[in-house]
């Protein structure tokens, strides 16, 4: 693992840091540009993603829901971090379609020669110059509908103004206690940090289960960005977080409303193509000195995602 300092790759420990209480915290993103619709033409921008990354998944889901596959090409890094960080692996189909680089830190350096920070996915760049636009998924789920909407096969507003407060409330809860909560459980280095994280995960799932009782999406009849933030964690939960991150009180399949919701979301056009259960299982159980020293990958549970 590592990061970049003044455009140079330096090795380092994992993203985020362990505090004295044993609680894991995520390092904030640093590239937070904006785009206007008049800036955006087909192929002018390029997305970098990893199948296993739940934050990159937000961007892939937004791209799929809008039908932006043609207008916004994507390159995937190999779904496994190395001493060189995220790298491409052409022999296995993970190719930098933009400049043919070997590692994502080279893409960052192409875009900003003095870049200092973590080398994360998702990343949106301007194709011709390589200029870094954004590496913050929370911003990308807003940039794509607004700035790329005119190129979308299925344009949609994922943040309708009248639902703004409800979306913000779900976003905050889901981000801190669920999206990050599972990582805080899995990376905890003390019993108390683990206990608190797992309580937060299941309190949040319980709240969502109750809220979904009488509506198809979190804020009502319309799919919004709050649902986009929820789905990546649901897709990874039973196959990985449940066991690899010790979130074992219940599976998503044990929640009637959540399970119906997750399968309905999975069946929407373009979504199944963004989901790679096998990669999640192998990724979260990959060899790690603390979490899986022997690197044995468990056999997958049988899960039927059909409606
Ligand atoms: N805040 C960022 C976080 C992205 C993030 O942490 N991505 C992870 C992969 S799941 C990553 O690329 N980590 C590499 C690193 O931090 O060195 C976002 O939501 O876009």
Give 121 Cα–ligand 1 centroid separation in angstroms. 5
Which of 16-20, 93-97, 226-230 shows the lowest mean pLDDT across its residues? 16-20
Q: Please give the mean pLDDT across all residues of the chain.
A: 94
Backbone CA torsion sign across 127, 131, 137, 138: negative
- C-alpha 136/C-alpha 71 separation (Å) is 20
Average pLDDT over residues 210-235: 96
Q: Atom 13 (ligand 1): residue with closest C-alpha?
A: 120
Predicted local confidence at residue 35, as pLDDT: 97
pLDDT over 70 percentage in the chain = 95
Of all atoms in ligand 1, which is nearest to the CA of residue 53?
Answer: 10
Q: What is the DSSP string of 25-77?
A: EPPPP--B----GGG--TTSEEEEE-TT-HHHHHHHHHHHHHT-TTTS-EEE-
Q: What would the pLDDT profile of 23-39 be if each residue is shown by its tens digit?
A: 766 666 689 999 999 99
Q: What is the pLDDT of residues 153-172, one digit of tens each?
A: 999 999 999 999 999 999 99
Ligand 1: residues within 6 Å at CB? 1, 15, 29, 53, 55, 85, 118-122, 135-138
How would residue 288 be classed by pLDDT, with cut points 50, 70 and 90? confident
Phi/psi for 25 (5° steps) reads: -125, 150
Distance 54 CA to ligand 1 centre (A): 9
pLDDT at 289 over 80: yes
Query: Atom 10 (ligand 1): residue with closest C-alpha?
Result: 53
Can you tell me which atom of ligand 1 is nearest the CA of 136? 20
Mean pLDDT of 241-265: 97
Residue 55 CA to ligand 1 center (angstroms) comes to: 7
Instruction: Identify the band that residue 12 occupies on the pLDDT scale cut at 50, 70 and 90.
Output: low
How close is the Cα of 144 to the center of ligand 1, in Å?
A: 19
Kindly list the structural domains of the chain, giving each domain's residue range(s) and its CATH number in brackets, ordered by start. 2-151 (3.40.30.10), 161-268 (1.20.1050.10)
CA distance 232 to 152: 22
């Amino acid at each position: 693992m590592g990061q970049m300092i003044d455009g140079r790759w330096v090795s380092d420990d994992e993203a985020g840091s362990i505090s004295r209480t044993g609680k894991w915290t995520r390092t904030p993103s640093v590239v937070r540009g904006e785009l206007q619709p008049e800036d955006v033409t087909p192929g002018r921008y390029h997305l970098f993603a990893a199948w296993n990354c739940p934050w990159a998944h937000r961007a892939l889901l937004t791209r799929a829901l809008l039908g932006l596959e043609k207008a916004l090409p994507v390159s995937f890094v190999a779904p496994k971090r190395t001493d060189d960080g995220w790298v491409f692996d052409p022999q296995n189909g993970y190719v930098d379609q933009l400049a043919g680089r070997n590692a994502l830190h080279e893409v960052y350096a192409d875009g900003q020669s003095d870049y200092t920070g973590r080398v994360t996915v998702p990343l949106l760049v301007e194709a011709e110059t390589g200029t870094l636009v954004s590496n913050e998924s929370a911003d990308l789920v807003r940039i794509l509908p607004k700035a790329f909407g005119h190129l979308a096969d299925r344009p949609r507003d994922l943040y309708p103004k009248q639902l703004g407060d409800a979306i913000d409330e779900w976003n905050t809860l889901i981000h801190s206690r669920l999206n990050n909560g599972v990582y805080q459980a899995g990376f905890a280095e003390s019993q108390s940090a683990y206990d608190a994280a797992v309580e937060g995960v299941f309190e949040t799932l319980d709240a969502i289960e109750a809220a979904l009782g009488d509506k198809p999406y979190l804020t009502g009849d319309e799919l919004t960005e709050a649902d986009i933030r929820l789905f990546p964690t649901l897709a990874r939960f039973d196959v990985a977080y449940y066991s690899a991150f010790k979130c074992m009180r219940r599976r998503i399949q044990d929640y009637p409303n959540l399970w119906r919701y997750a399968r309905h979301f999975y069946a929407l056009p373009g979504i199944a193509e963004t989901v790679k259960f096998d990669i999640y299982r192998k990724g979260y159980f990959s060899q790690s000195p603390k979490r899986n020293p022997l690197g044995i990958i468990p056999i997958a549970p049988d899960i039927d995602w059909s409606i």
